[in-house]
Chain A
Amino acid sequence: MPRAALRPLARLYAAWLSPMPAARLAALRVLIGGYALVRVSVLFVFVLRRAARGDALVHPVGVMRLWPGTPSVAALSAVILVAAACGIAFVAGFRYRLAAPLFAGALLTILSYFNSFGMIYHSDQLMVLHTTVLAFAPAADAFSMDARRRERAGQPTPGQPHARYGWPVRLLCVLTVSVYALSGVAKVSAHGFTWALGEALRAQIGKDALRKQLLGEGAGILGAWVWRNAWLATGIGVATLAMELGAPLVLLHARARRVWAAFAFGMHWGILLIMGITFRYQLCGVAFASFFQVERLLPLLTAGRRRLERSSTEQEDRAAKPPRARTGS
């Protein structure tokens, strides 16, 4: 292959591996791992209740395609226990090299089971992809129990930004924009670019409201307003499709990335208000954290921890202090 043809690839490779601070990756570990841990905790009663009832899988997806038959309560309980224990270790950065892949695997298994009953929850997918990236990245080199242990042992701790902390953050961003680009392609392949004109969006809003009404749930509070104003639906349609199909382009510019992430975050709040659909991972903002300098949040956590440590030390000091001897009669 001629050298000139390889040059862009080499540039891409170099850009992919350009350095970032370890603290950013660590902050993403805490945020994304924390969210995933909460998600597993919320799901566990539901998953076990369903397993206890013996519901057969309707359309096995993910790990469930490889699982022989329907998983038993005992098997699911074991996976949930692994997820909970390794999830805590993931967030704390404790024995990360072992705990993180185990957590990612357990999370994938539980969510594969959860999504195997005929309905796929699309907001879980990005979370699983993000967790997988972090599980195989050195995300516990800073702000973690592993890092503190290494410090105490006098081993070197990450100081300068390094390539090994850069690629995972970039991969998180690329996966996020890819998911939106895929969503845009699905719309265009089904409707052509006329999806942007608003009629398709109005139909989706109407369909969603109709079935919610017939199944006993309220429609989105702004749904009627958008439905009645075709110009508004057109504006939202154009903006949505531009945001989705243009997503990969924003990777070329740092500020564009952040503006895009803020727009995508706003779009999910719009979906909630118009259709009452909750993309929880996106709504809480964690899905877009990799686009920002989230390491700036770490001092807040550190300050909180120090305050806790200080107050507990003071309490211990007070408890340990001998009662003052009485003077005089």
Chain B
Amino acid sequence: MSSRRSPTSGHDGHSQEVVGSSAPHVPHEPDTELASDAQDGVAFETKLAALFSAALLAVTLAPIAQNWAEAPADGFPFSYYPMFSHPVGETYRVTHVVGLDADGREHVIPYGYLGTGGLNEVRVYVERAAHQHPKQFCEEVAARLSARPSDDLRHVRELVVRTGAYVMESFYAGAIQARSQREHVKCRVPR
């Protein structure tokens, strides 16, 4: 089977190579009825395409209304894309878990011990768990830490589930300052 190459000009004005292995079947005498049927088919297809495009675009843009809703709700796969738009004050509240060693020194417990998923997903989970079932959550984290402690967390004896209002400026100033802190629960790390 021989290959056929013929340059054509696309809509964008650039030329492209059209490659095909066989010439399309072209009747010698155009059958007007068949041609009319084909045209009707193309017209229907293009109308359907326009309808599909308009419908998908409309449902994609519809969540814009959430910006003015009293309780905006994000969705999937249609969203109003609120990332980086939530107002942030001078302080920011974070619920997290701190490990204490025998000397009372504090260690950050990485999110991998706290739940499943990426950092932001775990952050949302920790927030909820700390308020709904803090003791159970703390013991689950302690069990995970006990089962596979990293080198720098081997000496952690106790865990504290804490929510703090932290001063935003303080992070890049070198040390994180808390304006207020609340301990939800403490639990021992089984050894």
List the interface of chain A (C-beta within 8 A of B).
13, 16-21, 23, 46, 49-50, 53, 55, 58, 61-62, 108, 111-112, 115-122, 124-125, 128-129, 132-133, 136, 151, 154-161, 163-164, 166-168, 170-171, 174-175, 178-179, 182-183, 185-187, 189-191, 195, 200-201, 203-204, 206-207, 209-217, 219, 223-224, 227-228, 254, 293, 295
Contact = CB atoms under 8 A, between A and B. Distances in A.
Contacts of B92: 206-207, 210-211
A210 to B, nearest CB: 5
B190 interface: no
Given A159-B8, A164-B49, A186-B82, A179 B18 contact: no
Interface in B57-114: 57, 60-61, 63-64, 67-68, 74-88, 92, 94, 96, 108-112, 114
B169 interface: yes
B94 A210 contact: yes
B123 interface: yes
A254 B22 contact: no
Query: Which of A191, A200, A207 counts the most B-chain CB atoms under 10 A from its CB?
Result: A207
Interface in B18-37: 18, 20-22, 24-25
B46 A163 contact: yes
Interface residues of B, number: 72
A212 B121 CA distance: 12
B125 A214 contact: no
B72 to A, nearest CB: 9
Dominant secondary structure of chain A at its interface with chain B: helix
22 contacts: A16-B50, A49-B116, A58-B124, A119-B124, A125-B79, A132-B56, A136-B52, A157-B22, A163-B49, A170-B53, A171-B53, A174-B53, A175-B60, A183-B81, A185-B64, A186-B81, A186-B83, A190-B85, A204-B88, A211-B119, A215-B114, A217-B110
A111 B77 contact: yes
B148 interface: no
A148 B117 CA distance: 42
Contacts of B50: 13, 16-17, 167
B168 interface: yes
A129 B20 contact: no
Interface in B108-137: 108-112, 114, 116-126, 128
Contacts of A200: 84, 87-88
B20 A157 contact: yes
Contacts of A119: 117-118, 120-121, 124
A210 B123 contact: no
B11 interface: yes
Given A19-B10, A132-B56, A210 B117 contact: no
A117 B123 CA distance: 11
B18 A182 contact: no
Nearest to A64: B76
A21 B57 CA distance: 23
A111 B77 CA distance: 9
Contact of B79 (A13, A122, A209): A122
Given A108-B77, A167-B50, A187-B85, 19 more contacts: A20-B11, A21-B18, A46-B117, A122-B81, A125-B77, A125-B79, A159-B24, A160-B8, A160-B18, A164-B49, A174-B57, A178-B57, A179-B60, A182-B63, A186-B83, A200-B84, A201-B84, A209-B171, A215-B123
